[in-house]
Amino acid sequence: MFVHLFLNYLEMGIKGVALAHNLSAVLGFTILCTYLSRQKDIAEAWYWPTRRTFYNLKEFLLLAIPGVLMLLLENSNMQILLL
């Protein structure tokens, strides 16, 4: 819907496609968060982030960043081999 609007009516070209994709992602995330926060069945499992959520973030990042880099290098290597 957004792509059609940005491409055909506003004539934004490739920038319109990127903007439409980002707008759709943000809108979908907002709707999902709103829906989940109002469900009584999962109230104990779903919570909005608080200050306590970010405690020990350094330790988490020390584990997460090497893992992400490893996956990035592995997947980029496969892309190079396919070219």
Q: Domain span at residue 28?
A: 1-48
The tens digit of pLDDT for each residue in 62-76 reads 999 999 988 888 877
Whether residues 42 and 77 share a domain: the answer is no
DSSP letter string over 14-81?
Answer: HHHHHHHHHHHHHHHHHHHHHHHHT-STTTTT-----GGGGTTHHHHHHHHHHHHHHHHHHHHHHHHH
Stated pTM of the model: 0.52
Residue type, 71: L
7: its two tokens? 């491409």
Whether residues 74 and 41 share a domain: the answer is no
Residue type, 77: N
CA distance 10 to 35: 31
Which pLDDT score, from 0 to 100, does residue 83 have?
52
The tens digit of pLDDT for each residue in 1-49 reads 667 777 777 777 777 787 888 888 899 999 998 888 888 888 778 777 8
Which pLDDT score, from 0 to 100, does residue 30 have?
92
Whether residues 42 and 63 share a domain: the answer is no
Whether residues 26 and 3 share a domain: the answer is yes
